[in-house]
Amino acid sequence: MMDRLIARTLFVPTLVWNLLLVRLIPARRWWDHVDPQVILGALPFTAHVSRLHKSGVRAVVNTCDEYAGPIAEYTQVGIEQFHMPTPDFTHPDLADVERAVEFVQSHAEQGHTVYIHCKAGRARSATVALCWLVRHRGLSPEEAQEKLLQERPHVKRTVWQRPVVTAFADRCRQETPAATD
């Protein structure tokens, strides 16, 4: 409960900080493609929806507890949102990550682009994107972390070490039968 209160109190100041960083540091963008079908980024404002839709986005994973997203605008253009409220400065739980990864994959299989976001596109959303890369692109957590950092350098560098990522990767390994000679 205290985590949620702190996160909500810090929401506006840290959002303003993120906006400032994007303006001051040219390499820091609001969103980045991390795969042809997955965009990882910061929370989209109403003004972003049309541009995202024109880019092929038909689905959004919103990991923000503190921001419901521009739902009416999504509905107008036919974007489906999966909302998994996760307080800022924490990580999502395994069940939510599983559901989010399957949501992303169901849209990827239809040829859609999926926008995965948290407030800054660095940790909560990166957790989901990293886990999707592990399950559906066959990368190890370390390889997926490197892929994220190549495409979005300000992703938190230790996402791959989160307990939820380790548990997710372990589950993926158990699902994949070992190769036999």
Asked if 52 contacts 76 with a C-beta cutoff of 8 angstroms, the reply is no
- Per the annotation, the verdict on 64 as an active-site residue is no
Q: Provide the 3-class DSSP secondary structure of residue 72.
A: helix
Alpha carbons 44 and 168: distance in angstroms, whole number: 27
Choice among 64, 118, 131, 172 that is catalytic: 118
Closest CA to 39 of 79, 75, 12: 79
The phi, psi pair for 6, rounded to 5°, reads -60, -45
- Give the number of residues written for the chain: 181
Alpha carbons 49 and 133: distance in angstroms, whole number: 25
Q: Which residue numbers are catalytic?
A: 118
